[in-house]
């Protein structure tokens, strides 16, 4: 009886190594994605100019045409608005009448003046990356799918461990009085 309990303890000790390995792999993948995210902005070296893009300003905000949601523009960042004019009267608007997010391209109206609620011509610059940056972003986007499958992976691992424990204890008992596994 004592020998049988020691064998069970030996089988459970293997579980500790498996769990530790999974944790280390998870940490390594997390660090990899952190490093790739920091590379994304350093790879963005192309500066782009947009002149007189027409937008209808809203209080909630409107995305400029060349923003991070636009497909084909990789590593979008560092938006800088150079000028904003009312398109109907060609009136230059000062920076207190609008605001923007330099990382997303969201542009919104801050003015309550009806003159400033018409169509605007916005000129701006932004930085973006090329092929290498596209590869990094594709890898990061693919990595975002991993958490969706994590519960399935964990359940399969738990079922596998439970099956190994059950068959590791049941088969030796069924084989005979000596605790040997039956040969087929």
99-148 pLDDT, tens digit per residue, is: 888 877 888 888 777 666 678 889 998 887 777 777 777 777 777 777 77
Can you name the residues that pair with 128 across neighbouring β-strands? 46
Contact 125, 83 (CB under 8 A): no
Q: Report the mean per-residue pLDDT for the chain.
A: 74
* The two structure tokens encoding residue 42: 């350093």
Higher pLDDT residue, 81 or 180? 81
In whole angstroms, give the CA distance from residue 51 to residue 5: 78
pLDDT score for 82: 92
Residue 102 domain-assigned (yes or no): yes
62 & 105 share domain: yes
Sheet of strand 106-109: strand arrangement: 62-63, 106-109, 98-100
Q: Does 181 map to a domain? A: no
> What global pTM score does this model have?
0.53
Residue 147 lies in a domain: yes
Q: Note down the domain range covering 75.
A: 45-131
53 plus 125 within the same structural domain: yes
């Amino acid at each position: 009886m004592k020998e049988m309990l020691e064998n069970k303890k030996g089988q459970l000790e293997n579980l500790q190594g498996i769990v530790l390995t999974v944790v280390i792999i998870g940490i390594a993948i997390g660090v990899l994605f952190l490093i790739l995210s920091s590379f994304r902005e350093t790879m963005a070296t192309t500066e782009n100019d947009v002149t007189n893009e027409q937008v209808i300003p809203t209080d909630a905000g409107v995305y400029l045409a060349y923003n991070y949601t636009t497909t084909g523009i990789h590593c979008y960042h560092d938006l800088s608005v150079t000028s904003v004019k009312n398109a109907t009267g060609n009136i230059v608007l000062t920076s207190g009448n609008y605001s923007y997010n330099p990382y997303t391209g969201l542009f919104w109206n801050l003015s309550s003046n009806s003159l400033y609620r018409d169509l605007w011509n916005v000129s701006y610059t932004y930085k973006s990356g090329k092929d290498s940056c596209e590869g990094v972003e594709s890898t990061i986007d693919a990595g975002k799918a991993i958490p969706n499958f994590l519960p399935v992976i964990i359940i399969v691992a738990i079922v596998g461990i439970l099956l190994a424990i059950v068959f590791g204890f049941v088969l030796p008992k069924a084989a005979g009085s000596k605790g040997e596994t039956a040969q087929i």
